[in-house]
Amino acid sequence: MKPLFLLLCCASVRAWAAWNVATEFRVVRLPISSGLEIVELFSEERTTREATAMVERMLGDGRAVLVAELFGTVADGDQLLAEDVTEHRYPTEYESPNPRLAPSRASGLAIPAAPTVMEVKNIGTTLKSSPAVWAGGAVIQASIATQRVSHPGNFRYEYGIRADGIKYVIEQPKFVTKNTRTIIVARSGIPTLVGCYLDHEKPEQLELHIVTLTASGTAEPKVEAEPVGSTGMARVELRRYRLPVADGVRARIAIERGDIAADEILRKLAAEGKATLAECVSLPTYPWRQSLHENVLEVRYPTEFDARGGGPPTLAVDKRAAAFWALPPSVNRDNWRHFLGPHRTVVTPDYIPLPPQQMFEVMNVGSVFEIEIDPYYATESAALLNVNDKQIENNGFIRRLDVADHQGERLYDYQPVFTERRTMTNRALPIGKWVLETFHRRTAPNDDVEITIARLKTNRFTLKTP
């Protein structure tokens, strides 16, 4: 029985692996002016080849940049993982700067704190795919997860100022994460736009994530055969614009009246300089499956601080006591005998090194969309769409004075100001028409309105017998 069992297993594996699926993942950055046109072409399967040709031309003449590209092949029904990441190490805890290493007043340099604890963040590109071949290799369904993590720079905190004006500084990294999780249904060899993102550092740029699935194997697709059914894939598109209050109110009235398409109204205002594109989402999805679009910037801010070295308010005290109280507590414990010994001369230092922030928390600033289509309420002209829209903004930092010692040094802490908006909608959305999704009046420190419009499109594929 054992040889027979092994034979049956091998036969099953050969049948299961009759198809291989090659997956190509491209990350392309291009200007908004041409990027929105390409996104529009990618929204329908009949114009996808035209969109692909435009991307290739722009890459060839330098108007677009190929940021990353991954490629891998996996058997039908298996899982693919492809990634290209680099470890980025950054400090999370510090010790006070060394007074002897301080720059002179004439140099104008800042005094960096010495790191004591480091953490690691992987930056780069990751692709996960689980494809299933349909219709003799003509159509492929795949669960797709793409992620792009970048490091555009650092936040710099000036946490203290010396008596002579030289500053104490620490830096914390910025990490931008662009993440998509969804299910797509596509023809073999035809690219699919799975993600569209605005750049946090360069808002005039769009970043497109494009996936191409290609089936190959012992069986060949026969696209001329009689149809045996059909399947489809939906695409949810969201555009968010920011406008002055008066223009925003007029645009909302015009959108609700329906005289002109909502997208045309807002794009015209953007061309006139009265509106700014704040978010662009083009997410393929499958009914009854939750899809995710995430575009966030990690903001690291201090939440716990080392004990402050306090001290006498004036210099009218013994210099040994002044020097003792001015040093940080960790130095006090290590060097207590230096101040008790009768034969040691202690001189008050030219400045007192201040301990920096020691612990940091992270807030993801940006937008997260969770989208789901209910198949029970879908028709040829409309579908029930659920959108969970969460947006967090960073409105800068409040710098507060923490310590001012008798030598004129000052120590500050930084605390961020975050604004969060969240909307959950569940309604029937017409197929192919832009409609008003949300309207927000933003107040201090902003003074404008935010309009989000949504559109639902469907692409159907006829399944053929092999």
Query: What's the whole-model pTM score?
Result: 0.81
What residues does 48 pair with on adjacent strands?
none
Q: CA-based angle 428:185:282, to the nearest 5? A: 55
Q: What is the pLDDT of residue 375?
A: 74
- Residue 148: the pLDDT is 96
410 CB-side CA count, 13 A: 11
pLDDT tens for 2-40 read 333 233 333 334 344 589 999 999 999 999 989 999 999
Residues near 186 by Cβ (< 8 Å), separated by ≥ 6? 45, 139, 140, 142, 192, 213, 233
Structure-block tokens of residue 72: 């891998």
CB 284 within 8 A of CB 213: no
Beta-carbon neighbour count of residue 6 at 10 Å?
Answer: 10
Q: Which of 434, 447, 438 is nearest to 389 (CA)?
A: 438
Q: Which residues of the chain have pLDDT under 70?
A: 1-17, 98-109, 218-231, 304-358, 376, 378, 405-407, 460-466
Which residues partner with 385 through β-bridges? 373, 427
- What is the reported pLDDT for 354? 60
Could you tell me which of 286, 10, 281, 9 has the C-alpha nearest to residue 130? 286
Give the sign of the dihedral formed by CA 81, CA 86, CA 89, CA 92.
negative
User: Which residues make Cβ contacts (< 8 Å) with residue 310, sequence separation at least 6?
Assistant: 325, 403, 405
* Distance in Å from the first CA to the final CA of the chain: 35
| Sign of torsion over alpha carbons 23, 24, 25, 31 | negative
Q: What letter represents residue 312's amino acid?
A: P
**Cα distances (Å, whole numbers) of residue 194 to 142, 153, 288, 456:** 12, 27, 18, 15
Residues 6+ apart with CB under 8 A from 223: 138, 464
98/353 Cα distance (integer angstroms):
7
Radius of gyration of the chain (CA): 29
Nearest to 293 by CA among 206, 382, 174, 209: 209
- Which residue is it, tokens 């008050």? 348
Residue range 286-329, pLDDT digits in tens: 888 899 999 999 999 887 665 444 333 332 233 333 333 333 33
At residue 222, φ and ψ (nearest 5 deg) are: -110, 90
Residues 41, 30, 187, 148: is their CA dihedral positive or negative?
negative
Question: Is 282 within 8 Å of 43 (Cβ atoms)?
Answer: yes
| Residue 198 structure tokens | 């605005």
How big, in percent rounded to 5, are the helix, strand and coil portions of the chain? 20, 55, 25
